[in-house]
Amino acid sequence: MAVATPRVYLADVEKNYSQAVEMLEKAAQEGARMIVFPPHFLTGATCGVLSSQNLLSIAAKKAFADISQLAAEKRIELVSESCSMPEMEVMCVSVLEMVTRYRKVKDKLAYLSATERKAYVYCPSGYGESTAEGVYAGGSLVYCNGRLMAAGERFQREGTMVFADIDTSMEPANVPKLQDGAEEASPLRRLPFVPDAPEELGERCDDILQIQTTGLVSRMEFIKAKSAVIGISGGLDSTLALLVTCLAFDTLDIPRSNIVAVTMPGLGTSNRTKGNALALMEALGVTSKEISIVAAVEQHFKDIGHDPSNRDVTYENAQARERTQILMDLANEYGAFVVGTGDLSEIALGWCTFNGDHMSNYGVNCSVPKTLMREIVRHAANTRFEVCRDVLLDIVDTPVSPELVPGTDGEIGQKTEEVIGPYELHDFFLYHFVRHGKTPRQIYRDAWQAFYYQYDEVAIKSCLRTFIRRFFSNQFKRSCSPEGPCVGSVSLSPRSSWPMPSDAFSSLWLSELDNL
């Protein structure tokens, strides 16, 4: 049998049909008696409402009839939907390749094929599906009686096809029993997004980098982008976004000099973060720009009549919006697009300026929480980016700060975790609130047991109150957030994962917390 994962051209039936014919011809040459395609391989599975358009529907039906006839002439059975046969289960699926999912699919297919003594074929959608919400990585699998007979490469930009001989009379392999609930983090794990085992952590970091990179590559190819603009603060988020952008340009064989990295020192920029930003850009070989926003912001304060000695939200947000304006205008100047840097933890808490750092053309970090981001950058420093290892590790150790308020003697004057609470607590709350729908009472109980030696009851309760209040009140920012790839089981995309109303009250949740 042949298992095909063609490159997808969304809504382009003619291109998809040509690919399918080529793969069918190759299958015939190899003597295959069956060929399996992913679902909606002639249109793409992520066309959304376009699937109901008559023009697309009619074209797809005609193309499917033609390729079915061609398969029949070659005496090859064509399968493109999940189906069950006496000795075989075929699963054609369109799923995002989130971290941990692929490994669990392999374990499940090995176990089921061994216990049922039959073949299991897994044929997922591949490169070219929409990256608005996630990445479709391919990676077809064929298991027979517990044995892996064939596996397609994941994250391939061109179509792939694997072949396997199926013989269900072979002796079944000895496969470990599936572990129930192995995916879930223990409620007492302090860092539920971060694996405990070093090997698993390294594997997850690699997978996330690959998912982020593939999503950005796909988007760049679609819009035919040859350059990108990204703001570099010397902090954790922009650092990871820059690393991903470098990997994407390397994949596309575009010089890193086409990445316009901009550091924009303002009223609160520290010497440490500015120095790290400049050192990082130089080490990575990108085009480096330094544009001070001080004069522009001070003029803006005069224009709107704001007293610069009043360091309120206006004082802070004006700086974030000025930086975003510079990035967007530079993108127009270079014919580029703006890579977003905001992470999942900030998105959950609304710790971003609306129409400031909240906005970009594509947000590569949108589903990476802060606690996991530290580990990804650390892992990248020790593996793919050893050329700038020292500066990356210093960035990992730098206190998180938007740097919108001046410090003393060039030091960081504003530390995020001193304002809103520790990110390790917020990420703990986020995981159990979104992933499991736990109540404040349950979350507080779990957090107290996990962190009792580090934070007292008052600190945990106060931080949880901040999380609930900010999570509800900042949905309006998430409702118009940029697209970006989902990498794990927790996502706050308003288009698919978390379609919450912007005007929902948090009183029910806060009342339970207050009554503890």
Q: What is the 3-state secondary structure (H, E, C) of 359-400?
A: CCCEECCCCCCHHHHHHHHHHHHHCCCHHHHHHHHHHHCCCC
Paired residues of 143 in beta bridges: 120, 148
Q: What is the rounded CA–CA span in Å between residue 269 and residue 410?
A: 7
Residue 138 lies in a domain: yes
Q: Which of 280, 287, 283 is nearest to 255 (CA)?
A: 287
Question: Residue 58 is inside which H or E element, if any?
Answer: helix 54-73
pLDDT at 264: 97
CA angle 84, 497, 133 (to 5 degrees): 80
Contact 170, 147 (CB under 8 A): yes
Residues spanned by the domain of 143: 2-163
Same domain as 458, residue 395: yes
What's the number of domains the chain is made of?
Answer: 2
Same domain as 143, residue 219: no
Residue 148: count other Cβ atoms within 10 Å of its Cβ: 15
Question: Residue 444 is inside which H or E element, if any?
Answer: helix 440-451
pLDDT at 182: 45
Same domain as 203, residue 159: no
Same domain as 96, residue 227: no
Residue 323 lies in a domain: yes
pLDDT at 407: 87
Q: Which of 11, 14, 97, 73 is nearest to 48 (CA)?
A: 11
Same domain as 286, residue 154: no
Domain CATH number, residue 59: 3.60.110.10
Same domain as 249, residue 155: no
Same domain as 218, residue 151: no
Residue 186 lies in a domain: no
Residue with tokens 């072979």: 170
Contact 237, 230 (CB under 8 A): no
Same domain as 130, residue 37: yes
List the structure tokens of 155.
């994250």
Same domain as 423, residue 323: yes
pTM, two decimal places? 0.94
pLDDT per residue of the chain (516 residues) written in tens, 0 to 9 = 999 999 999 999 999 999 999 999 999 999 999 999 999 999 999 999 999 999 999 999 999 999 999 999 999 999 998 888 888 999 999 988 888 888 889 999 999 999 999 999 999 999 999 999 889 999 999 999 999 999 999 999 999 999 999 998 888 888 888 775 545 667 789 999 999 999 999 999 999 999 999 999 999 999 999 999 999 999 999 999 999 999 999 999 999 999 999 999 999 999 999 999 999 999 999 999 999 999 999 999 999 999 999 999 999 999 999 999 999 999 999 999 999 999 999 999 999 999 999 999 999 999 999 999 999 999 999 999 999 999 999 999 999 998 889 888 888 888 899 999 999 999 999 999 999 999 999 999 999 999 999 999 999 999 999 999 999 999 999 999 999 999 988 999 999 899 999 999 999 999 999 999
Same domain as 223, residue 141: no
List the structure tokens of 446.
């779990």
pLDDT at 172: 86
Residue 158 lies in a domain: yes
Q: Which of 143, 163, 183 is the last residue of a domain?
A: 163
Residue 184 lies in a domain: no
Residue 170 lies in a domain: no
| Whole-Å CA distances, 2 to 78, 84, 124 | 10, 17, 14
Q: What is the rounded CA–CA span in Å between residue 5 and residue 137?
A: 10
Same domain as 473, residue 332: yes
Non-local (6+) Cβ contacts of 142 within 8 A are: 1, 3, 119, 120, 121, 122, 148, 149, 150, 151, 162, 164, 166
Same domain as 316, residue 262: yes
Residue 187 lies in a domain: no
Q: Is 396 exposed, middle or buried (0-12, 13-18, 19+ CB in 10 A)?
A: middle
